[in-house]
Amino acid sequence: MSNLKQEILKLLKSDQFISGQEMADRLDVSRTAIWKNINALKTEGYSIESVTRKGYHLREHPRYISPTALEVLVQDSALFSHMEYFETTESTQIEAFQKLESRDGAYIVVALEQTKGRGRFNREWFSPKNRGLYLSIVLRPNIPITEIIRFNLFISLALSKTLDQAFGVKSGIKWPNDIYISNRKVSGFLTEVVSESNVINAIICGIGINIFKDEGVSALGTATDIESEMEPGRKVDLDDFMKKLIHNMEVYYDRFINEPFSSIRDEWKSRAIVFNKDLRITETGESYMAKALDIDSDGFLEVLDETGEIRRVVSADIEL
């Protein structure tokens, strides 16, 4: 991928007109090279205005994740060392797993479309092209496998905060790893691990977000999308979203490694949508109604079932 194209994109994001000659001087290349890379960015979906005697100006971002912008973000990241980008794939989780042995460190896999996207309990995640954000992040924490529930809570907080910051929405968390807006699901993530002797060698976390309106998503009834929930007239900027997401992932992953759940418990509870509601909880072999009372210091849900018994929910499917 052209490093020059990445540098030109950085200059264009200054929100100022900048001439082709100034870019050429600053990057020590010819104006022809600038022109060619400007056109390449246009083919990626960037709307770039050209005005005589003023220069170039970035008007709009693509309605999908730009590989050039993502490469810039990964290069600047303190956590992620590289990324993989696909127009179409069966599943970013599959791609991420396949690259575990050939790639070191933490990395990101992004696709514009998944043909076999899946969520928890092997449920299908509807992933139409250029309508959502589909990615998997790979992390290598070297921690006990019992810590995975805590990981989910830190990451759910990072994801919920990012959606609010980038799109001006008000999202909530359904324990342990679904994000809702207006009582409908907008995002979820699937956490899988590679472990040995009860120690996690790698976490592969697949994230799906419904971004733009889509008839297939709307038909589900229980789902929504970011575009429908944003204030009228506000534009979706996925480059900005990814910048905020990577930053928040870095912050909350570092906190996960170094801090107990109690350090974010109050913040997590302030975003939780499971309290004071009747819940249907399905665990291995049984399903029952209950009310969520609290979340304990380990991140497990404490609920009161129909018989008056207080239960500690470790892993379950929860319906609101």
Angle between helices 67-76 and 238-258 (to 10 degrees): 30
Which residues are paired to 123 by β-bridges? none
Reading the block at residue 268, the tokens are 């997590």
What's the burial of 46, exposed, middle or buried (CB within 10 Å: 0-12/13-18/19+)? buried
Q: Is 280 annotated as a binding residue?
A: no
Query: How far apart (Å, rounded) are the C-alpha atoms in residues 195 and 202?
Result: 7
Query: How far apart (Å, rounded) are the C-alpha atoms in residues 63 and 226?
Result: 12
Q: Show the beta-strand stretches assigned E in 155-242.
A: 172-174, 178-181, 184-196, 199-210
Do 55 and 22 touch, CB atoms closer than 8 A? yes
Do 189 and 206 touch, CB atoms closer than 8 A? yes
Query: How far apart (Å, rounded) are the C-alpha atoms in residues 44 and 47?
Result: 9
What's the burial of 231, exposed, middle or buried (CB within 10 Å: 0-12/13-18/19+)? exposed
Strand (E) or helix (H) holding 6 = helix 3-12
Q: Is 59 annotated as a binding residue?
A: no
Q: Is 118 annotated as a binding residue?
A: yes
Do 188 and 176 touch, CB atoms closer than 8 A? no
Do 199 and 209 touch, CB atoms closer than 8 A? no
Q: For the range 309-313, what are the long-range contacts, defined as Cβ-Cβ under 8 Å and sequence gap of 24 or more?
A: 313/281, 313/283
Which positions make up the binding site? 114, 118-120, 185
Which positions make up the binding site for biotin? 114, 118-120, 185
